[in-house]
Every structure is written in C-alpha cells, then in structure tokens.
Copies of this chain bind each other. A is one copy, B any other.
C-alpha cells in the first residue's frame, strides 16, 4: 500500500525544496510557522518531508511575493484556490486592488524621479556653497 503522495522519488527534504523553488530554508520554516504553508509531514527522524503538491504551493507563494502581494493576500489567494475554489471573482478583486496600489506607487515614484533628476542636473559636482540637492530638501513649505 502506497502513500497518497506518490512515489519515493517525489519526496524531498527541505533543502531540496529550497533549491527547487529558490526559497530560503529558514523562510520555508517561517512560512509554515505563520501558516502560509500547511504543516509539513515528518519522516521518522523528525525531519520535514515534501511532495510535489507542497512544491507547487511554495512556487505559487514565491511568484505571488515577486508580484508584490503581501503574505496576507497570498493566504487569501491560497484559500480561494483551495478545496472549494469557488470565487474567481474574489481572486480578481484582490488582484485588481493590488494593481491599483502598483499604479499609485508608479505614479509617486515617477514624480519623485522627475524632481530628483531636475535637481541633480543642476548640480555642478564641484565644491559649491549652495548645493541644489540640499536646497530642495531644505525648503520647509514645499509639501
């Protein structure tokens, strides 16, 4: 009688999982502790054992984090993609909200980029008594 998880070849240690997914070992344990990942099965010696399902979940978490989702959002997405993967609508809402955040951040950063570019351009780079960078930062009422 085999395990449901499949053949031996698919069962891996935390180190192997780390290599395959590019997620730090300590981070994997951390994800388990804060319930982003399910509690891992243990071998007889007490070490964590992972299968392809865990690998898929962790890859999903990693990708989501790369896309800037918070761990809270990732937890929500995992719940929605889980057993009763009912509401694609909810998933879309989370992603759309996140997209709004990203657009706002891009806008802020570009404003900032323009300001800094302009300022640095004024800079001669020589030793000067009135540095425009310090000046622009120094203005008190410019918010």
Contacts and interface: CB of A to CB of B under 8 A. Distances in A.
Interface of A: 22, 55-56, 59-60, 63-64, 66-68, 77, 80-81, 85-89, 91-92, 95-96, 98-99, 102-103, 105-106, 109-110, 112-113, 115-117, 119-120, 123-129, 131, 133-134, 137-140, 142-143
Given A67-B115, A137-B77, A142-B63, A102 B109 contact: yes
Contact of A113 (B22, B102, B123): B102
A106 B63 CA distance: 19
Nearest to A67: B112
A87 to B, nearest CB: 6
Nearest to A99: B116
